[in-house]
């Protein structure tokens, strides 16, 4: 139903509209409004201009921007607000109201802004409880969850790629990208399983062969995918296919390697998994709180909602939180022990003698703090010192992961990666700060904490030739004698 009466006829347009060529009239149901508003815009030689517009409701302004976009003008770049630009493709449903019915009913009384707050809050609590639950369920379940999250993130990013390039119907490509994901996962999981569960692998014959030729098998699988890609190149779609190939590989690089580093960290002890993730979550929440209450100076143009006050306040509170959480967790073997396969008991165990890192030690504190705290020394776990480093990284550097994801979303004009979690967006939205953290923790452990894995070293040693083993034996003996561990002649 188009109402004409509010649009000026072409002859009566103001002078600055130029010579109008043809009027475009359209109707639009502004988001949240129930009335139909007619907007009039004219196509002129200067482009499409709304020389005369009728703004019935506040929502019409938003709708106007949408109209202009549809008619071929640029979208207004002043939309720092949450105008939902109809971006990617025609098939994504407007992500306005994805919340389940039950929440809608419960919150139907509140205004839209508070409702959003409540939805976010409830979902946050739900996610945190889910986190606790899977920690309780143990490492195997955690591995499965990490795998699911990885697959979902990959799927979200690949979908964005399809939307950007309108390449959803490229021949073979969907199959190929899932296949590459499978190959990459097979390679990484195989390496992890071989390294960590060496005893189990050596025992079972089929596993042993798979692990011995693991790299070859993975490479062959990948090559098959590569050849399929080359054979699937179709004349009209070369460039798109190469773009999607590159997109898939970069996504794999980011998503799959991170998730395997997380699992690596997990195997060193669940505390190396829980504390970093909690620090990042805490930093997110604390920075938001500090920003909400004290925020004044904007931090970076990419994310206009972030402020320096939030950043710094989040830093200090995250360090504190990390210290406290590490103290609490270091007491329990369940969190502290590496996840191993016990050959005798024939099962996976999380039981060990906690390493030095998790035994209380006395530290004498500087005089200044002594007077404040009233004691001469303080008992800390060495791990808490490490947690300061982890928290510092989580507060200072991993927000760059978040900025990267914000830049990505702005570059490809999407508001959220997907709509999986109501009020929060897709799974990638929740995990964007975690990427760098997982790699950092892994590198940190490899550089500062963990030495090489003795059982893996033994495995390699026994695979050498006898003369090489003898040589190593002599060097090792000399080293041990020098260290005084071995008596000369023993």
User: Which phi and psi angles does 304 have, rounded to 5°?
Assistant: -65, -15
> Is residue 411 a contact residue for other proteins (CB under 8 A)?
yes
CA dihedral 376, 381, 385, 388 (to 10 degrees): -110
Answer yes or no: are the C-beta atoms of 33 and 57 closer than 8 Å: yes
367 burial class (0-12, 13-18, 19+ CB within 10 angstroms)? exposed
Can you tell me which of 36, 127, 328, 461 binds other proteins, judged by CB under 8 A?
461
Cβ atoms < 10 Å from Cβ of 212 = 13
Closest contact distance (angstroms) between CB of 196 and other proteins is 17
- The alpha carbon dihedral of 240, 245, 249, 252 has a sign of positive
Of residues 251 through 280, those in contact with other proteins by CB under 8 A are: 253
> Is residue 33 a contact residue for other proteins (CB under 8 A)?
no
In the complex with other proteins, which residue's Cβ is closer, 10 or 217? 217
Order across the sheet with 36-44: list the strands. Answer: 22-29, 36-44, 47-49
Can you tell me which of 172, 178, 243, 308 binds other proteins, judged by CB under 8 A?
243
In the complex with other proteins, which residue's Cβ is closer, 113 or 169? 169
Closest contact distance (angstroms) between CB of 130 and other proteins is 30
> Is residue 219 a contact residue for other proteins (CB under 8 A)?
yes
In the complex with other proteins, which residue's Cβ is closer, 146 or 157? 157
Can you tell me which of 178, 226, 288, 332 binds other proteins, judged by CB under 8 A?
226
Size of site (CB under 8 A) for other proteins? 101
**CA distance linking residue 369 with residue 371, whole number of Å:** 5
Of residues 48 through 67, those in contact with other proteins by CB under 8 A are: 48-50, 53, 61, 64-65
- The alpha carbon dihedral of 15, 18, 19, 20 has a sign of negative
> Is residue 96 a contact residue for other proteins (CB under 8 A)?
no
CA dihedral 251, 257, 258, 262 (to 10 degrees): 150
> Where would I find the H helices in 29-70?
58-70
Can you tell me which of 9, 32, 246, 331 binds other proteins, judged by CB under 8 A?
246
Closest contact distance (angstroms) between CB of 131 and other proteins is 26
In the complex with other proteins, which residue's Cβ is closer, 110 or 464? 464
What are the C-alpha distances in Å from 404 to residues 302, 343, 369, 433?
9, 44, 39, 9
> Is residue 93 a contact residue for other proteins (CB under 8 A)?
no
Token couple for 244 = 């999607």
Of residues 73 through 92, those in contact with other proteins by CB under 8 A are: 73-77, 87-90
> Is residue 359 a contact residue for other proteins (CB under 8 A)?
no
Closest contact distance (angstroms) between CB of 99 and other proteins is 26
> What is the SS3 assignment for 40?
strand
Can you tell me which of 173, 197, 247, 383 binds other proteins, judged by CB under 8 A?
247
Of residues 382 through 401, those in contact with other proteins by CB under 8 A are: 397, 400
């Amino acid at each position: 139903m188009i109402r004409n009466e509010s649009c000026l006829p072409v002859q009566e347009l103001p002078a600055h509209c130029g010579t109008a060529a043809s009027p475009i009239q359209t109707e639009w149901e502004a988001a949240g409004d129930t009335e139909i508003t007619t907007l009039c815009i004219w196509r002129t030689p200067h482009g499409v201009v709304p020389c005369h517009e009728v703004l019935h409701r506040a929502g019409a302004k938003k709708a106007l921007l949408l109209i202009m976009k549809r008619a071929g003008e640029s979208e207004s770049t002043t939309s720092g607000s949450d105008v939902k630009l109809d971006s990617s493709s025609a098939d994504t449903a407007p992500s306005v109201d994805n919340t389940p019915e039950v929440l809608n009913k419960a919150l139907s009384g509140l205004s839209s802004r508070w409702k959003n707050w409540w939805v976010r809050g409830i979902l946050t609590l739900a996610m945190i409880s889910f986190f606790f639950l899977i920690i309780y369920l143990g490492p195997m379940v955690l591995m499965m969850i990490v795998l699911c999250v990885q697959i979902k993130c990959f799927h979200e990013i690949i979908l964005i790629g399809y939307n950007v390039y309108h390449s959803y119907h490229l021949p073979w490509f969907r199959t190929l990208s899932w296949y590459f994901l499978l190959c990459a996962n097979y390679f990484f999981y195989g390496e992890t399983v071989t390294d960590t569960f060496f005893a189990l692998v050596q025992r079972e014959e089929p596993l042993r062969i798979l692990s011995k030729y693991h790299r070859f098998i993975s490479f062959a699988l990948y090559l098959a995918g590569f050849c399929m890609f080359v054979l699937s190149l179709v004349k009209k779609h070369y460039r798109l296919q190469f773009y999607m190939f590159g997109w898939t590989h970069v996504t794999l690089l980011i998503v799959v390697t991170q998730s395997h580093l997380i699992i690596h960290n997990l195997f060193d002890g669940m505390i190396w998994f829980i504390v970093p993730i909690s620090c990042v979550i805490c930093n997110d929440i604390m920075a938001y709180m500090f920003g909400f209450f004290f925020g004044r100076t904007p931090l970076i143009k990419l994310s206009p909602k972030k402020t320096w006050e939030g950043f710094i306040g989040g830093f200090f509170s995250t360090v504190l939180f990390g210290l406290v959480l590490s103290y609490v967790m270091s007491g329990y073997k369940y969190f502290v022990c590496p996840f191993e396969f016990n050959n005798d008991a024939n099962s996976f165990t999380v039981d060990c003698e906690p390493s030095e890192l998790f035994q209380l030690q006395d530290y004498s504190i500087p005089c200044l703090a002594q007077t404040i705290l009233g004691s001469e020394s303080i008992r800390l776990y060495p791990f808490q010192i490490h947690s300061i480093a982890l928290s510092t990284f989580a507060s200072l550097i991993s927000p760059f992961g978040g900025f990267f994801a914000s830049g990505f979303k702005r570059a490809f004009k999407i508001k959220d990666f997907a709509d999986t979690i109501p009020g929060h967006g897709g799974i990638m939205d929740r995990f964007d700060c975690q990427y760098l953290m997982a790699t950092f923790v892994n590198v940190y452990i490899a550089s500062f904490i963990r030495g090489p894995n003795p059982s893996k070293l033994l495995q390699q040693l026994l695979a050498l030739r006898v003369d090489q083993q003898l040589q190593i034996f002599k060097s090792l003996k000399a080293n041990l004698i020098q260290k005084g561990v071995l008596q000369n002649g023993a």
